[in-house]
Amino acid sequence: MYKARSAYGAKTLAGRYYTDEAVYRQEIECIFRQSWLCVGRSTQLTQAGQYFLHESDGESIIVVRARNGSLHAHYNVCRHRGTRLCATESGRFAETIQCPYHAWTYALDGRLLGAPTMSEVDQFDKQDYPLHSVAVAEWEGFVLLNLALNPEPFATTFAPIIDRFQRWGLPELQVAHTVEYDVQANWKLIFQNYNECYHCPTVHPALNQLTPYRNSNNDLEAGAFLGGPMAMSQPNGSMTMSGQVCAAPLAHLRAADLNLVYYYTIFPSFFLSLHPDYVLVHRLERINPARTRIVCEWLFHPNAIAQPGFSALDAVDFWDLTNRQDWQMCELAQQGVSSRAYTPGPYAELENVPAAFDREYLRVMG
């Protein structure tokens, strides 16, 4: 399946993009407060009143399921004197959201319902003081937020992939296992690493045996969504320690999908790895220019999870090994790009997707 490709003579980014605090602050304003960010799964909010907090770049957002089933997201800030409304990471509101300071009370959709004694204030109107809301979307069972004041509609931004993954039945899948990693590397190094298999023969001998590094055929090679399929060397297998599937094939997969694994990066916050029997999600949360928290979730169909003797460990152990190999390389890369001796080097022909990531990153940064 190897497809000739080219990095178009591109070179890697300058070191300051991985280390400079000013660049990091610019990323917050130009990228992370303007983009649709994956913050969790819809299955975290199955009942009216259920919520979780999303904390990022000094902001706290309440994501809550309303009584009519719709999702809402609000800044965790009372409209009275700015008090944090909610301090618990997740839970369930009974009926309303109430400020612990002066008992201003809000509906789950953000409307101000009650403000004690404020009727004594001339011209005070509760309609003027709803919670400050944040754009929220549900897509393929994921919850996404956009903190921009006037965000581009989700359907417009995600148009290139909005229906691409339907045959995996992602909304039905459940999290069977979660692992969190603390990686001492810039978030872009992690994106670039995921987007190429040039390093696989050296760094990932087990992975390279299951998917030889030239068995790729990227079908998205520009813009915010990058990646494509890789052919597995073992027919009807999967990316596991044994090379065998650990569950029945997902949903409505085509016959060809049973011998492929699909890898996609979704700028700027998560990765999708779609296997015949499960889906792996990497969700990135930046901590500082040289540190990134990564939440990995293994998603399986609930019917598979319910089977006697089901275990996700064959898949979990394989990717935990692969992840840790990657994180070690990303940390070494972070150390290297922090040196004054580092200068941008040429991308290999097999690194056209990291080069495409760099172009999209620089475009968004302006």
What is the phi/psi pair of residue 55, to 5°? -110, 125
Query: Percentage of residues in the chain with pLDDT exceeding 70?
Result: 98
User: Confidence class of residue 215 from pLDDT cuts 50, 70 and 90?
Assistant: confident
- The per-residue pLDDT for range 36-67, each reduced to its tens digit, is 999 999 999 999 999 999 999 999 999 999 99
Q: Is 217 a residue whose pLDDT tops 90?
A: no
Q: Which long-range contacts (CB under 8 A, 24 or more apart) does 14-18 make?
A: 14/344, 15/337, 15/338, 15/339, 15/342, 15/343, 17/186, 17/188, 18/186, 18/188, 18/189, 18/289, 18/290, 18/334, 18/337, 18/338
Q: How far apart are CA 100 and CA 113, in angstroms?
A: 15
Q: What is the DSSP letter of 31?
A: I
Burial pattern 163-195, b for ≥16 Cβ within 10 A else e, equals ebbeebbbeebbbbbeeebebebbbbbbbbbbb
CA torsion angle 129 131 135 141 (round to 10): -150
User: Confidence class of residue 2 from pLDDT cuts 50, 70 and 90?
Assistant: very low
Q: How far apart are CA 270 and CA 298, in angstroms?
A: 14
Q: What is the DSSP letter of 330?
A: H
What per-residue confidence (pLDDT) applies to 216? 80
Nearest alpha carbon to residue 327 among 128, 151, 187: 187
CA distances from 46 to 16, 69, 70, 107, 265 (A): 43, 8, 10, 18, 27
| Range(s) of the chain covered by CATH 3.90.380.10 | 16-30+163-365
Query: Percentage of residues in the chain with pLDDT exceeding 90?
Result: 96
Task: Name the CATH superfamily housing domain 16-30+163-365.
Answer: Naphthalene 1,2-dioxygenase Alpha Subunit; Chain A, domain 1 (3.90.380.10)
What per-residue confidence (pLDDT) applies to 1? 41
Q: How far apart are CA 360 and CA 165, in angstroms?
A: 22
- The per-residue pLDDT for range 168-196, each reduced to its tens digit, is 999 999 999 999 999 999 999 999 999 99
Cα 184–chain centre separation: 18
Q: How far apart are CA 276 and CA 257, in angstroms?
A: 6
Nearest alpha carbon to residue 50 among 64, 70, 69, 68: 64
Q: How far apart are CA 207 and CA 212, in angstroms?
A: 8
Q: How far apart are CA 70 and CA 180, in angstroms?
A: 29
Q: How far apart are CA 322 and CA 194, in angstroms?
A: 11
Output the six-digit token pair for 8: 């178009």
Predicted structure pTM score: 0.94
- The per-residue pLDDT for range 228-283, each reduced to its tens digit, is 999 999 999 999 999 999 999 998 999 999 999 999 999 999 999 999 999 999 99
| Range(s) of the chain covered by CATH 2.102.10.10 | 37-157
Q: How far apart are CA 246 and CA 253, in angstroms?
A: 16
Q: How far apart are CA 226 and CA 266, in angstroms?
A: 7
What per-residue confidence (pLDDT) applies to 6? 61
Region 37-157: CATH code: 2.102.10.10
What per-residue confidence (pLDDT) applies to 5? 55
Q: Is 304 a residue whose pLDDT tops 60?
A: yes
